[in-house]
């Protein structure tokens, strides 16, 4: 029986030695590998999160810049259109005022010898015709009946 006890003790010692020398290091190595894998997975997850956040920020910045550029282009176009409309309105008003003043001077009531002579000189009609119209105007300036006829001739010559 004593030998049996020694055999059991020897078996326990051998089994414990086997466990501590071969099984436990393998378990510890597996545990370390699992921890390293978990750490690598966590690092990959963090990197993916940071990349996604950076991509979202870049997309947001690009969208903001595109919206600002579109707003600037629209604002510039609106400003240019408003300026062009204002200029056209001014030119139309000036043309209307000029037409009104021209026709006013070519009536017996609004007649101004200097203005009508200036209009004749500034017109595109021939030099001979200009001289004839001015001579007729000079003779008719003191006679309202003749003046009306001379002014009609001037209007016809100038295409008014």
pLDDT tens-digit map of 109-157: 677 777 878 887 887 888 888 888 888 888 877 777 777 887 788 788 7
Instruction: Indicate whether 89 and 38 sit together in one domain.
Output: yes
**pLDDT recorded at residue 103:** 65
Instruction: Indicate whether 113 and 139 sit together in one domain.
Output: yes
Q: Which domain holds residue 40?
A: 32-93
**pLDDT recorded at residue 13:** 80
**pLDDT recorded at residue 54:** 87
Instruction: Indicate whether 81 and 110 sit together in one domain.
Output: no
pLDDT tens-digit map of 52-100: 888 888 888 888 898 888 888 888 888 888 888 888 878 777 666 555 5
The residue from 66, 93, 120 where one domain ends is: 93
**pLDDT recorded at residue 95:** 65
Contact 85, 123 (CB under 8 A): no
Single pTM value for the model: 0.36
- 18 in a structural domain: no
């Amino acid at each position: 029986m004593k030998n049996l006890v020694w055999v059991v003790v020897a078996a326990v010692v051998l089994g414990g030695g086997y466990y501590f020398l071969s099984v436990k290091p393998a378990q510890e190595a597996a545990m370390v590998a699992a921890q390293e894998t978990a750490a690598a997975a966590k690092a990959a997850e963090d990197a993916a999160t940071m990349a996604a956040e950076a991509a979202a920020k870049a997309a947001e910045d690009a969208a903001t810049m595109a919206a600002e550029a579109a707003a600037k282009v629209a604002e510039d176009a609106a400003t240019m259109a408003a300026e062009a409309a204002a200029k056209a309105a001014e030119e139309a008003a000036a043309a209307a005022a000029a037409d009104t003043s021209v026709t006013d001077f070519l009536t017996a009531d609004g007649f101004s010898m200097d203005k009508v002579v200036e209009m004749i000189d500034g017109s595109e009609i021939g030099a001979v015709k200009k001289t004839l119209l001015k001579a007729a105007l000079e003779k008719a300036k003191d006679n309202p009946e003749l003046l009306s006829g001379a002014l009609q001739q001037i209007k016809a010559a100038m295409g008014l």
